[in-house]
C-alpha cells in the first residue's frame, strides 16, 4: 500500500469517533433562547393544524378589559383567536366564538392551547394564582 492509501483508511476511523447525536442539554438551551427571543418580539409558537409543526409565526397582543386580560393570538394567514386569562386554575378560556379552548400544561412555564384546529404555545405561570 502507498502512503496515500493509508490516509484514506484513516478518514473513516476519524469519522467513526465523531458523535452525530446532538447534546440534548445544548438543544434545550437553544430552544429556550429562541422562545425567549420570540416572546420578546411578541411572537409565539403555533401550528395551523394537528399535523403541522410548531414555529414562532403567530403574534400575541394583551389587552386589559376591566379586571380581565384578553389575549389576541394572530395567525400568519390572518386568522385569530381571543382568549381570556382566568384565575381559577384553567389558564385561559375562549373569549368569544363557539369553540372551547383546550389547555394542556407542557412545562413549568408553558401551556399549549388548542382551539379551532390551531395550536398555540404560551408562556404561563403554572401553579396557584395569587389574588
pLDDT of residue 65: 79
pLDDT tier, 15 (very low <50, low <70, confident <90, very high otherwise): very low
Residue 49 has pLDDT above 90, yes or no: no
pLDDT of residue 112: 94
Residue 51 has pLDDT above 90, yes or no: no
Residue 44 has pLDDT above 80, yes or no: yes
Residue 17 has pLDDT above 80, yes or no: no
pLDDT of residue 90: 81
Query: Are the C-beta atoms of residues 84 and 73 closer than 8 Å to each other?
Result: no
pLDDT of residue 118: 94
3-state secondary structure the chain: CCHHHHHHHHHHHHHHCCCCCCCHHHHHHHHHHHHHHHHHCCEEEEECCCCCCCEEEEEEEEEEECCEEEEEEECCCCCEEEEEECCCCCCEEECCCCCCCEEEEEECCEEEEEECCEEEEEECCCCCCCC
**Mean pLDDT, range 108-114, rounded to an integer:** 90
pLDDT of residue 4: 45
For 93, residues 6+ apart whose C-beta sits below 8 A from its C-beta are 83, 84, 86, 100, 101
Q: For the whole model, what pTM was predicted?
A: 0.65
Question: In terms of Cα–Cα distance, which of 114, 113, 130 is closest to 122?
Answer: 113
Domain ranges of the chain: 3-123
Amino acid at each position: 500500500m502507498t502512503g496515500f492509501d493509508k490516509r484514506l483508511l484513516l478518514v473513516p476511523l476519524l469519522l467513526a469517533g465523531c458523535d452525530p447525536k446532538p447534546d440534548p442539554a445544548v438543544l434545550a438551551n437553544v430552544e429556550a433562547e429562541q422562545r425567549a427571543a420570540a416572546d420578546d418580539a411578541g411572537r409565539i409558537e403555533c401550528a395551523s393544524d394537528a399535523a403541522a409543526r410548531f414555529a414562532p409565526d403567530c403574534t400575541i397582543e394583551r389587552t386589559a378589559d376591566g379586571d380581565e386580560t384578553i389575549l389576541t393570538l394572530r395567525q400568519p394567514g390572518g386568522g385569530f383567536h381571543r382568549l381570556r386569562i382566568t384565575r381559577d386554575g384553567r389558564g385561559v378560556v375562549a373569549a368569544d366564538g363557539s369553540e372551547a379552548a383546550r389547555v394542556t400544561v407542557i412545562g413549568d412555564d408553558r401551556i399549549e392551547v388548542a382551539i379551532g384546529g390551531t395550536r398555540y404555545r404560551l408562556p404561563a405561570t403554572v401553579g396557584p394564582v395569587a389574588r
